[in-house]
């Protein structure tokens, strides 16, 4: 079965994805609200997998909820918490419920999260997980055994266009495509001239690329990301622009900047779409889309 997200990627339209984060606990009130708000405005919604190594309601459960509510989920899967048996089993379950988009990630270190004494698994890495998906599609598991029933996925991975050094990042990007990645959602990009340079290289590969957009919520938040988030580089002009916002209006400025960036990416046909990460402010995604002229 071809997922609607895959159809969107193949249609040549400007694709928009966003994300929803499962809750810490069983209170699912907020997530359905976000899903309801976004499901008809974006082509698919990523459901994060214990983001930043913080234990939460599972991404598979969240993806199921998106599906049940008529949205199009992208199941995020990290290699941190499950070995190859568990990863394959979850993929089989996802396929059985019509969850056919998967984003393959290594996963943050356990020590960055809220269960610092846990054992990091990393039985597979992100490239190997992509290859495992392609193998399941051929009817075989990683043990070489036949599967009863078929699966089909639209599998993706991430890349960090601002990585320093960039060369090994580009090599790994290529390797992920060879392993089976059909789409790439990038780490946040802010310097679009740099991003264009990355795209000049990336365009030669048969993969759809969605530029990562993280909503800036304040100047200190931008500085914090520069200092603490690997591969994120908010240029000084944007930090100054955020700081210039009147008191209490920083968020509006952040929405304006995100909208402006998306507009430019689309206008200049830099890549195939955008992946909007509002990190806890998902209710603002429609405002960003509106600022970008997309709705």
Partner 1 sequence: MLRSEQKPFEEILGYLEGENMVFILGCDGCAQASQTGGLPQVLEMKGRLEREGKKITGYKVVDFLCQKALVASALRPLEDRVMESDSVLVLCCGVGIQTSAAMILKPVHPGCNTINLGGSRGEWRGSERCMECGDCLLDYTGGICPLAACSKGLRNGACGGASNGRCEVSPEKPCGWELIYARLKETGRLDMLKKFVPPKAWNKMRPTPEMLSTSVWALEQGDGSIQEGIE
Q: Which is nearer to partner 1, 146 or 167 (CB)?
A: 167
**Phi and psi of 17, rounded to 5°?**
-125, 155
Which residues contact partner 1 by CB under 8 A? 80, 84, 106-109, 111-112, 120, 122-128, 131-132, 142, 158, 160, 163-165, 167-169, 171-172, 174-175, 178-179, 187, 230-231
Nearer residue to partner 1 within complex by CB, 16 or 104: 104
Q: Is 175 exposed, middle or buried (0-12, 13-18, 19+ CB in 10 A)?
A: middle
Q: Min. distance of Cβ 102 from partner 1 in angstroms? A: 17
**Which CB, 25 or 165, lies closer to partner 1?**
165
Residue number with CB closer to partner 1 (51 or 160): 160
Q: What is d(CA 91, CA 131) in angstroms, rounded to the nearest whole number?
A: 13
Q: How far is the CB of 127 from partner 1 (least distance, A)?
A: 4
Residue 214 CA from chain centroid, whole number? 11
CA distances (Å), origin 29, targets 22, 35, 195, 243, 264: 10, 11, 37, 34, 35
How far the first Cα of the chain sits from its last, in Å, is 28
> Nearer to partner 1 by C-beta: 123 or 137?
123
Instruction: Please state the closest distance from residue 105 (CB atom) to partner 1, in A.
Output: 9
Cβ–Cβ < 8 Å for 192, 256: no
Residues in the chain, overall count: 295
Pick the closer one to partner 1 by CB: 3 or 76: 76
Q: Which two tokens stand for residue 43?
A: 């082509």
CB nearer to partner 1: pick between 13 and 116: 116
- CA distances for 75 relative to 32, 98, 103, 292, angstroms: 16, 11, 6, 26
Q: How far is the CB of 50 from partner 1 (least distance, A)?
A: 15
- CB 253, min distance to partner 1, A: 26
For residue 193, the minimal CB distance to partner 1 (Å) is 21
Identity of the residue, 4 or 106, whose beta carbon is nearer to partner 1 in the bound complex: 106
CA distance 90 to 94: 6
Residues forming beta bridges with residue 154, ordered by sequence position: 101
What is the smallest separation between the CB atom of 160 and partner 1, expressed in angstroms?
5
Least distance between partner 1 and beta carbon 4 (Å) = 29
Q: How far apart are CA 275 and CA 226, in angstroms?
A: 19
CA distance 232 to 54: 21
């Amino acid at each position: 079965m071809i997922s609607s997200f895959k159809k969107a990627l193949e249609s040549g339209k400007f694709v928009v994805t966003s994300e929803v984060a499962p809750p810490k606990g069983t209170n699912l009130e907020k997530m359905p609200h976000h899903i309801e708000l976004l499901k008809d405005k974006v082509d698919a919604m990523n459901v994060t997998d214990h983001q930043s190594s913080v234990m939460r309601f599972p991404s598979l459960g969240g993806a199921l909820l998106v599906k049940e509510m008529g949205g199009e989920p992208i199941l995020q899967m990290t290699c941190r918490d499950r070995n190859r048996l568990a990863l394959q089993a979850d993929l089989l379950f996802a396929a059985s419920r019509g969850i056919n988009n998967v984003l393959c990630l290594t996963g943050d270190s356990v020590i960055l999260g809220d269960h610092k004494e846990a054992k990091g698994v990393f039985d597979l890495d992100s490239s190997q997980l992509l290859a495992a998906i392609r193998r399941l599609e051929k009817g075989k598991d990683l043990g070489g055994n036949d599967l009863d029933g078929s699966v089909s996925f639209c599998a993706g991975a991430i890349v960090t266009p601002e990585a320093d050094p960039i060369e090994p990042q580009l090599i790994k990007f290529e390797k992920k495509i060879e392993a089976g990645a059909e789409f790439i959602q990038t780490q946040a990009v802010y310097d679009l001239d740099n991003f264009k340079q990355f795209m000049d290289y990336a365009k030669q590969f048969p993969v759809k690329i969605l530029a990562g957009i993280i909503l800036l919520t304040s100047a200190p938040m931008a500085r914090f990301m520069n200092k603490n988030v690997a591969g994120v580089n908010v240029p000084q002009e944007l930090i100054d622009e955020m700081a210039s916002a009147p008191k209490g209006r920083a968020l509006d400025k952040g929405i304006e900047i995100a909208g402006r960036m998306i507009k430019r990416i689309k206008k200049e046909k830099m890549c195939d779409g955008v992946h909007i990460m509002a990190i806890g402010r998902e209710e603002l995604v429609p405002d960003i889309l509106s600022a970008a002229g997309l709705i």
